[in-house]
Amino acid sequence: MPSSGLAKRLLANWPAKMLSLAAALLLFSFYRLNRLEDRYISVPLSVSMNDEYVPASQYPRSVRVHLRGESNAILAIQEDDVRAALDLSGYGAEGKYHVPVQIERKGSALGVDPLEIRTDPADLVIAMEKRITRLVPITPSFKGFLEPGYELVSFELSPSEVEISGPAGSVSKVGEAQTDFIELAGRNADFIVKTRIIRKDSLVSVSGPESVEFRAVVQRSLAIKDFEGVAIVGRGLPPELALASPLPVGRLRIRSSTTDITGFTPAPGILFVDLSELRKPGTYQAKVRSSSPDGFTIERFEPQSVQVTIVQAGSLPSEPR
């Protein structure tokens, strides 16, 4: 029968034919593998977590994804077609964990075959800590200078504090929340601006509004002048006692908003020490005090204290004539 002859011919030398078929399939596979190309893209890393425990160590905000497939197919894949995720929602205790980066195909990545997808890194070591929240004050950050002759007298922030949350170790170290830079250059009057709150630690989040209102009061600056070599005098020393040596000199800064300070010279006694409580000879540490002249204000002075040596009056050798 013809069919019997056909079967005999097909089965003849069947081991050689099977080897030939296997070799053909292998060659076809090698051919397809040789046609595969590599492409690397960077995709955002989305992180899901529970409400009680949060990451306490820094982790990348994006991962490098390795695509391997046919050239036309992988070139058509966009960054949005691959999703990289880190699932931390199941970790309910403090510690360090190896967490795999999960990959999800979307869009044009669906149905592509062959397609190999790997991430670099394939997993991350994440430290987890308990989440805490607390209120911290907001402080402004400034950039530039007001117009010459003007100064920032006062300011107000609304709100003046903000709630932060995150891992206990990081949140406990935050003493304040700072604003974005507030530009002062060229200003010579009161002003109001909106400014953002800056997150210095990516592990610590800020609750509530993302911006605050800054209200500033600006006025003409006060005249300020520094003085060196200002005599410090002693006051109130009983007549039976005397200073063993002159007191050292000091320095001070004086400001005024109403009086011309150009020709002002500090008078003796503007810096002084009160010696009225001393009753016997000895060496003492005395606090330096200041007395502001009319129309002026002493902003600061140095030193804050001096060492004085007290002796009996008349016990000092007379100076040669």
- The DSSP code for 80 is G
User: What's the mean pLDDT in 171-197?
Assistant: 94
Higher pLDDT, 16 or 48: 48
pLDDT, tens only, 260-312: 677 788 888 899 999 998 889 999 999 999 998 887 888 889 999 999 999 99
Say what the pLDDT of residue 1 is: 47
Per-position DSSP letters for 170-231, written without gaps between them: HHTT---EEEEEEE-TT--S-EEEEEEEE-SSTTSEE-S-SEEEEEEEEEEPPEEEEEEEEE
pLDDT, tens only, 91-147: 999 999 999 999 998 888 888 888 888 898 899 999 999 999 999 999 999 999 888
How far apart are the C-alpha atoms of 220 and 148, rounded to whole Å? 9
Say what the pLDDT of residue 264 is: 81
How far apart are the C-alpha atoms of 228 and 254, rounded to whole Å? 11
Secondary structure (3-state) at 246? coil
How far apart are the C-alpha atoms of 103 and 71, rounded to whole Å? 21
pLDDT, tens only, 249-259: 999 988 876 66
How far apart are the C-alpha atoms of 101 and 65, rounded to whole Å? 11
User: What's the mean pLDDT in 147-165?
Assistant: 90
Q: Are 212 and 157 in contact (CB under 8 A)?
A: yes
Say what the pLDDT of residue 22 is: 64
How far apart are the C-alpha atoms of 220 and 256, rounded to whole Å? 11
Percent of the chain with pLDDT over 90: 54
pLDDT band at 203 (very low <50, low <70, confident <90, very high): very high
How far apart are the C-alpha atoms of 293 and 269, rounded to whole Å? 10
Average pLDDT in the chain? 85
Secondary structure (3-state) at 293? coil
Q: Which residues contact residue 142 at a Cβ distance below 8 angstroms, ignoring those fewer than 6 apart? A: 181, 182, 184
Q: Beta strand 36-49 with 82-88: parallel, antiparallel or unpaired?
A: parallel
Q: Are 294 and 265 in contact (CB under 8 A)?
A: no
How far apart are the C-alpha atoms of 240 and 314, rounded to whole Å? 8
Of how many residues is the chain composed?
Answer: 321
Q: What domains, with CATH codes, occur in the chain?
A: 33-121 (2.170.120.30), 131-220 (2.170.120.40), 223-312 (2.170.120.30)
